[in-house]
Amino acid sequence: MDVKKKYSIKLNDPQLRNVLEQFLLAGEISHVKDPKVIHDPLWGSCLFYPWEISLIDTPLLQRLRGIHQLGTAFYTYPSGIHTRFSHTLGVTILADRLINKLKEKLTLTQNDSIEVTTKDVFTVRLAGLLHDVGHCFFSHASEKILKNYCDFGRIFKNSAKFHEKLSYLIITHEIFQNFFKKHIAPLFPKKEDIPELSDVANIIIGEPPSKKKRFLQEIISGPYDVDKLEYLYRDARTAGLENTYDIERYFYKIALHEDKGNIRLVMTQGGIQAVEQIIFCKMMLFSFLYHHHKVLAADAVFTDLFLKLLNMEDSSYPIQIDHPFDCLRYNDHDILGLSLSSGDEEFNALRERLLFRRLPKRCFVINREFVEGLDSDYQKKRSFKKLKNDLQNQQKSIRKDLAKNIGCTPQDIFISCPNLPKIEEISSGPILNSKNEIDAISKYFQLEGWQHSYELKKLRAYFFIDEPHLSKASNEIEKYLRNTYNLTFTSQAKTEAKL
C-alpha cells in the first residue's frame, strides 16, 4: 500500500486529546441513577447499571450506532445492517453471563482457592462495553488501511489489532481517566468495586491484569472469548445464514483452573464438540460472508475512496482527516452522506459507486487449485507467493500496468487479496482432561487441516472491472500473470468469474 506519511502515536497523544475533548466526551453528561433494561433480539432483556448507561449515552459509544459491524457487506446481504453498538451491548451481556456462570460453578463445587468478586464482574462488563470504541467507520475495512499509517513505537508488546490499540489509547488517556473519575466512578455503590481502567485497557488488548485475574482477559480477548461468540452468532443471524452453535453447552463446559499460578479459562473435555462448532462457524462465515466476492468488491471500492479521503488536500471538503485519530469523529453515514457538487471527481465517483451499489464485476479469479502444475513446480510456488504479496502491497503499479493493456484507467480496476482466516487463538485454547490436567486442543483434532483445506479450496483473490471491459480484461490479466509471475492458470480462473 502506498503510504505517504506515518504518524508517530504516543500515550496521552495530543491529537487524541483534541478528539476526546471536542467530540467523544463532549456535551452534556447524562446523570443516570437507576439501572435500565435493554432488549436485544439475540440475548433477550438485559440489565445495565447506571455507570454503564452514563457511558453508553456519551458520543464515544453513541457513534458506534453509525458504524456497520460488517463494513460494506450489507450491499450483498441486505439484512446485515447491525452495528458496532449492538455488538458491543451483546459482548457486555455475554461477558456478564459467562463470569456469573463461572462464579456459580465455584460456589457449587465449594472451590475457595479461586475468587470471582463483584469488582471482577464490573471490570469484565466494562471491558466488554469499551472493547470496540477504537473502531472507525466501516469497521475492519478502514482498519486495514489505517494500521499502515500509524507507528505505535514501543507502546504495545503484543499483536493486538489496530482498533484494540485505539481503544487502549482512549481508555488510558488522561482525558478519559479524568472523565471517568469525575462522572462515572461516583455512580458505583461501593468504592472498592470500581474497576481499574488500566486493567480494562489491558484486557482489551489481550494482556492479563495479573496472573490471578488472567481469566478476566480471556473472557474478552482469548481462545474462548465472548467477543467471538457474539459476532459469529449475530453476523450469521442478521445475514440470514444458518450457522449456529450451542452456546449454553459452551458456557456449561467452561471452567476456571489454576495453571502455574495463572487462573485460566479452560474448556473441559466434554465441551470439545462445542469448540469444534465455533471453529466450523467461523470458517463458514468467512467462506459465505466475509470472503464473498461481492463483499470484497465493495471493500475494494471503499479502500480506494478512503485512500482518496486520507490524501485529500482540498480544505473545502466537509470531512477533514489530518490525522488517523480524526477518523473517530465520523461514522459510515458521514462518509456516504456527503453531497459534493464540486471537488475531486474521482472521489465523487467512488462514493456514488457505494451509495448506489454500482460495484465492479469479477473478471479473473486466482486460487491455488487454478494454477497448473503448482504442486509439482517449486518455482511456480515461489511465483504464486510473490504474486499474493504484490497483490496486497503493490496494487498501484499492477493496476497501472494492466490499464495500459486493457485500454482503461487504473481507477477502473479493483483487486482484492484476502488473508487466510486466523484460528490460532482457538488453537491455543487449553483443554482440561478427565485427570484434571491441561491438554493442547491439537490433541483432540487437527486445526491445521481446517486451515489448509480452506486455503486450497476457498481462499481466492479477485480482479474486478466494469462490464464493458470484462472480456478483454480477463485475457490481459491472464497474459500479464503468465509473463510477470510465470504462472499459468486453468480455464476455471475465467469461468468462475462468470458464475
Domain spans, the chain: 7-278, 360-418+460-499
Amino acid letter for position 255: A
Residues 88/62, Cβ–Cβ less than 8 Å:
no
- Give the whole-angstrom CA distance, residue 205 versus residue 221: 7
Gap between the terminal Cα atoms of the chain: 30
* Torsion over CA: 336, 54, 99, 216 (sign): positive
Summarize pLDDT for 10-33 with one digit per residue, the tens: 999 999 999 999 999 998 888 888
pLDDT in tens, 199-230: 999 999 999 999 999 999 999 999 999 999 99
* pTM over the 0.75 mark: yes
Question: What is the H or E stretch that residue 45 is in?
Answer: strand 44-48
CATH of 7-278, one of 3.30.565.10, 1.20.120.80, 3.40.50.1980, 1.10.3210.10: 1.10.3210.10
In tens, the pLDDT along 229-265 reads 999 999 999 999 987 788 999 999 999 999 888 999 9
pLDDT of residue 459: 92
Query: Among candidates 479, 476, 498, 490, which has minimal Cα distance to 361?
Result: 498
Please state the three-class secondary structure of 380-393 as a single string.
HHHHHHHHHHHHHH
Q: What is the mean pLDDT of residues 356-370?
A: 93
